[in-house]
A and B are shown apart, each in its own frame.
Chain A
Amino acid sequence: MVLLFSPFFLGVITRVKAFFGGRVGPSVFQPYFDLAKLFQKKCVYSHTTTWIFRAAPIVVFASVLAVSLMIPFGAFKAPVRFSGDIFLVAYLFGLARFFMIVAALDTGSSFEGMGASREAFFSCLSELTIFMNFVTLVLVAHQISLSGMIGAEIPLSWKLMGPTLLLVVSSFFIVILAENCRIPVDDPSTHLELTMIHEVMILDHSGVDLAYMLYGAAAKLFLFGGILVPILLPIHTGHGLMDTLIFVVGMLGIAIFIGLVESGMARLRLNRVTNLLLIAFALAFFGFIVRLWRG
């Protein structure tokens, strides 16, 4: 499901941005074509790189896929679910990011080192926010597994914990933008040295490796959306097809909303990104306080 739909999600965002830019834009299936093209190419490796550089794309892709096993999609239950899997989810994302950073440093390029440093700094802040949100959600749902957390309890919680969930959702949305290098934080469409965080780190990857990296990034965006949608649209009809349809509509809604945000906002200056992430943290912390207050 993740493999099938994540490039489509990316395509929808691009299309929405194009629409608001007054253009027609590429087809929503364009990311598939790009990936297909890249998978047919050979890789080029620099002499300075070691095995770390070659292993990184596989590790990134594999860890994102592993995370996808723990997130429920509509009527599809998460194949792997156990108490405490939220930590595994967070740290698998961490592992992917670590290998991406290490691979960027491995190339010895000063550009990529810069990107790696930025990525490491911003992800420190966003990880804090993610955990704060997870803690709040755990307290709301009284379950420590991701499926339980964003599962059946949420519709009931909206009545009592509406404000908390509202704060969690808005904080998590900022995290989505930051973690996936969308516009207020990073510009995914340029390789300009001032803007780049994620894009610069994958400059030296080529061919199949680049395809894995891009696929991993698309899947990560999809997974974050997959965590947010069940919180936003807590409707369980009990009918499998209907639930999946609601989920897909929710995902499309998020894609369109991200596209809207990207069209409406300019990228923030690098030193202001910290403040954005701190605001996300403040929102998460506020949600946590409200949850404790309501007891």
Chain B
Amino acid sequence: MTTWIDTSCILVVFLALSILATYRITGMIHIFVVQSFVLSFVPFFLHADALTGRDVMLVLATLVLKAIVAPYILFWAIRHMSMRSEVKPFIGFGTSIICGTFLIAGAFWVASSLKLPGKLISDLVIPCSLSTVLLGFMIIVTRTKAITQVLGYLVMENGIFLFALSLFDAMPTLIEMGILLDIFVAVFIMAIVVNHINEEFEHAPASLRRTKMGETL
């Protein structure tokens, strides 16, 4: 089962990296769906020998919320705003990928000096979750549109979810559910926010700022 956990962890990081390299917002959301899908099966692999109702519930809840509801709201927001599908990054795609690679390396470096309570099934879970969180941050910071920043936030949440999964036995279910709910609320609110912004401006780029006379951006 360790192999499956390892593979899922690496897939999650790779998908986060490929979100960084995607040109279209719909493409980003599709990749996010795949990432959430992969992620939602990790609890199965973690407790493959003794599957409880709690695991099944967690898998189902993650699957529905992360892989169906959240993307649905995002797609709905895009359709509703009839926005152009191009991702407009502050830095180029090539640079993003290289920076992402360095972030992954950094995450592994940090994870090597992290002592955690409890025994982990796979030693890749922690560094991979840290990498995903950092890549999510990177998406938030480098993408201009509000909707891509929501997506970055969701990717970051996926990383946090993976981190929480590694401490599954040490933590009560409440925290897991809290994280899931957190995402749900965040997506919901942000969809509304994005929508409101869109009613005032044509698109909702966060970098939009009026320049004063003689000032260069």
CB neighbours (8 Å) of B14 from chain A are 167, 283, 286
Q: How far is the CB of B34 from chain A (nearest CB, A)?
A: 15
Report how far A279 CA is from B13 CA in the complex, Å.
12
Q: Which residues of B contact A292 (CB under 8 A)?
A: 108
Interface residues of A (CB under 8 A from B): 162-163, 166-167, 272, 274-275, 278-279, 281-283, 285-286, 289-290, 292-294
A282 pairs with B17, CB closer than 8 A? yes
Are A163 and B97 in touch, CB under 8 angstroms? no
Judge whether B123 and A289 touch: CB under 8 Å.
Answer: no
A278 to B99 CA separation, bound complex (whole angstroms): 11
Distance between Cα atoms of A222 and B195 in the complex (Å): 54
Question: Which A residue sits closest to B112, measured CB to CB?
Answer: A293
Residues 74-112 of B, flagged 1 when their CB comes within 8 A of A and 0 if not, give: 000000000000000000011001101100110010001
Q: Known contacts being A163-B124, A279-B18, A282-B17, is A290 close to B10, with CB within 8 Å?
A: yes
* Complex Cα gap A167–B13 (Å): 12
Contacts of A285 in B (CB 8 A): 101, 104-105
By a CB distance below 8 angstroms, the chain A residues around B7 are 162-163, 166
Do A293 and B97 touch across chains, with their CB atoms under 8 A apart? no
A207 to chain B, nearest CB (A): 41
> Once the chains are docked, how many angstroms separate the CA of A162 from the CA of B1?
12
Q: Is B207 an interface residue (CB 8 A)?
A: no
1/0 per position for B122-149, CB-CB distance to A under 8 A? Answer: 0110010000000000000000000000
B105 to chain A, nearest CB (A): 6
Chain B interface size band reads: 20 to 34
Cβ-closest 3 pairs across A and B: A163-B6, A278-B97, A282-B101
Q: Which residues of chain B have C-beta atoms less than 8 A from A283's C-beta?
A: 14
Identify the interface centre among B94, B98, B108: most chain A CB within 10 Å of its CB: B94
Q: How far does the alpha carbon of A167 sit from the alpha carbon of B9 in the complex, in Å?
A: 12
Residue among B14, B98, B112 with the highest chain A CB neighbour number at 10 A: B14
Which listed residue (A166, A278, A294) contacts B98, Cβ 8 A? A278
Partner of A279, one of B97, B112, B123, B127: B97
Whether B6 and A162, one on each chain, are in contact in the complex, defined by CB atoms closer than 8 angstroms, is yes
Complex alpha-carbon distance, A293 and B127, angstroms: 9
Contacts of A274 in B (CB 8 A): 94
* Smallest beta-carbon distance B185→chain A, Å: 33
Using known A-B contacts A162-B6, A285-B105, A293-B112, determine if residue A275 contacts B127 with beta carbons closer than 8 Å: no
User: Can you add 18 more A-B contacts, CB < 8 Å, to A275-B94, A279-B97, A286-B14?
Assistant: A162-B7, A163-B10, A166-B10, A167-B14, A272-B23, A279-B18, A281-B101, A282-B98, A282-B101, A282-B104, A285-B105, A286-B17, A286-B104, A289-B104, A290-B10, A293-B124, A293-B127, A294-B123
* Bound CA–CA A282/B124 (angstroms): 17
- Near A by CB (< 8 A), chain B positions 13-37 give 13-14, 17-18, 21, 23
Q: Answer whether residue B3 sits at the interface, using C-beta atoms and an 8 A cutoff.
A: yes
Q: What distance in Å separates the Cβ of B92 from its nearest Cβ neighbour in chain A?
A: 9
Q: Measured between C-beta atoms, what is the minimum distance from A269 to chain B in Å? A: 10
A sample of 25 cross-chain residue pairs with beta-carbon separation below 8 angstroms, ordered by A number, consists of A162-B7, A163-B6, A166-B10, A167-B14, A272-B93, A275-B21, A278-B21, A278-B94, A279-B17, A279-B21, A279-B97, A281-B101, A282-B97, A282-B98, A282-B100, A282-B104, A285-B101, A285-B105, A286-B10, A286-B13, A286-B14, A289-B108, A290-B10, A290-B108, A293-B108
Q: Which residue of B lies closest to A276 (CB)?
A: B21
> Which residues of B lie under 8 Å from residue A272 when comparing CB positions?
23, 93
- In the complex, what distance in Å separates the CA atom of A289 from the CA atom of B108? 8
A281 CA to B14 CA in the complex, in Å? 12
Residue pair A293, B123 in contact (C-beta under 8 Å): yes
Residue of chain B at shortest CB distance from A284: B101
Residues of B within 8 A of A278 (CB): 21, 94, 97-98
> Are the CB atoms of A290 and B124 closer together than 8 Å?
yes
Of the candidates A162, A286, A289, the one whose C-beta lies within 8 Å of that of B3 is A162
Q: Which residue of B lies closest to A170 (CB)?
A: B14
C-alpha gap A282/B10 in the complex (Å): 12
Please give, as numbers and ranges, the residues of chain A lying within 8 Å of B108 by CB-CB distance.
Answer: 289-290, 292-293
Q: Which residue on A lies nearest to B2, using beta carbons?
A: A162
Residues from chain B with a CB closer than 8 A to the CB of A282 are 17, 97-98, 100-101, 104
Cα(A166)–Cα(B10), bound, Å: 9
Tell me how far the C-beta of B117 lies from the nearest C-beta in chain A, rounded to whole angstroms: 20
